[in-house]
């Protein structure tokens, strides 16, 4: 079973993700090492069969939205959503939290992660099905503004997954 947890320090979250912690004990041990506190929010909906189910759900959702698997941003946005499902506070500090954790996993830089995710969203917005995009992002995206920001995109999809609405 996977648990939704929140930590205060972005570097703690990055260390937890880098160590690929899968149990509450492992998460708590790393948080203690950083002098951080872990807040537990309970089990993630629909995740009782392990991380593979989350990854499948995210991949299906990205395909439905229109993010092609052949672009680099697909892998980065998939990882970013997975991390956000585990810790929603990561979208509050994109560069030092979410982009850094994703960059460390793929051995790249946070700025490259940010750009590739932005490109993936642009491609989905240009080529994706309008009804599907409206289904997930309708009320958060204005006609003037266009596509959502990276943070809005990731947070909205992570929220759908956590609520079991995907």
DSSP character string of 70-138: TSHHHHHHHHHHHHHHH-GGGGGSIIIIIIHHHHHHHTS-HHHHHHHHHHHHHHHHHHS-HHHHHHHHT
What is the band of 48 on the pLDDT scale with cuts at 50, 70, 90? Answer: very low
What is the band of 143 on the pLDDT scale with cuts at 50, 70, 90? Answer: low
Lowest-pLDDT range of 26-30, 95-99, 120-124? 26-30
What is residue 146's predicted lDDT score, i.e. its pLDDT?
76
Examine residue 1 and state whether it is found in any structural domain, yes or no: no
Q: With CA atoms as reference, report the closest residue to 87 among 1, 17, 163.
A: 17
CATH code of the domain in which 75 resides: 1.10.10.10
Residue range of the domain that includes 120: 45-162
Number of structural domains found in the chain: 1
Does the pLDDT at position 27 exceed 60? yes
Examine residue 4 and state whether it is found in any structural domain, yes or no: no
Mean pLDDT estimate for the chain: 80
Neighbours of 41 (CB within 10 A): 13
What is the band of 2 on the pLDDT scale with cuts at 50, 70, 90? Answer: low
Distance between CA 110 and CA 82 in Å, rounded? 17
């Amino acid at each position: 079973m996977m648990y939704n947890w929140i930590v205060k320090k972005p570097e703690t979250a990055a260390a937890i993700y880098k160590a690929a912690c899968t149990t509450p004990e492992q998460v708590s041990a790393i948080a203690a090492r950083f002098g951080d506190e872990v807040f537990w929010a309970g089990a993630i909906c629909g995740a009782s069969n392990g991380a593979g189910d989350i990854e499948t759900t995210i991949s299906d959702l990205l395909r439905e939205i229109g993010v092609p698997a052949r672009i680099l941003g697909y892998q980065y946005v998939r990882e970013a959503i997975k991390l956000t499902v585990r810790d929603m506070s990561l979208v509050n500090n994109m560069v030092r939290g979410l982009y850094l954790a994703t960059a460390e996993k793929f051995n790249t830089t946070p700025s490259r992660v940010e750009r590739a995710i932005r490109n993936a969203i642009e491609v989905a917005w240009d080529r994706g099905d309008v009804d599907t995009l409206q289904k997930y992002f309708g009320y958060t995206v204005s006609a003037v503004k266009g596509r959502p920001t990276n943070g809005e995109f990731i947070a909205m999809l992570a929220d759908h997954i956590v609520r079991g609405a995907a």
